[in-house]
Amino acid sequence: MGDSISAAYGMSLGEGWVALLENRLQRDHQGLEVVNASISGETSGGGLRRMPVLLRQHVPSIVIIELGGNDGLRGYPIGQLRDNLARMIALAENNDAKVLILPMEIPPNFGKIYTDAFRASFAQAIEGTDATLAAFPLASVALKTDLMQADGIHPTAQAQPRILESVWSSLEALL
């Protein structure tokens, strides 16, 4: 469950890291299915509203949550982001799913205090849960202009394998 980063913004769905993950799972872990419930522009609140239906519909064993970037870009309250993520984790865990949280980063537009609080919200959201906090999945691409689209926010198709490797390093243990 994610936003434009996981919805392959600016490229075909088949080029995105989620499709690459599905290909790897079909090759290495046959029998596992990937459901990409990502929507460009999605916030943690939108993800939280959609999650109960998605959990009932798909009954996942692992839920990957890549949300929060749009909350931060819109200046939403950090406590709201943290609480929405924590509630999504609880919903997934109450449905016997393991949870992997992919933290996001935001530009420093709102200042150091907001940016630091935003970064910390992901670790705070998993406190007291069994969820796993991954590394920032765009760490190896975000500052490389040749791997980012012209908007400076969305990675290119060429960056997607690197994003997958970042996610895979945490996901593999959950499998």
Q: What domains can be seen in the chain, in order of their start residue?
A: 13-174 (3.40.50.1110)
- Of 46, 88, 51, 101, which is closest to residue 70 (Cα–Cα)? 46
Extract the runs of DSSP E, i.e. beta strands, from the chain. Answer: 62-65, 98-101, 132-133
The pTM (predicted TM-score) of the whole model is: 0.96
Active site residues: 4, 151, 154
Q: Which two tokens stand for residue 155?
A: 């990675």
Q: pLDDT tens across 50-95, in order?
A: 999 999 999 999 999 999 999 999 999 999 999 999 999 999 999 9
Question: Region 95-112: what's the mean pLDDT?
Answer: 96
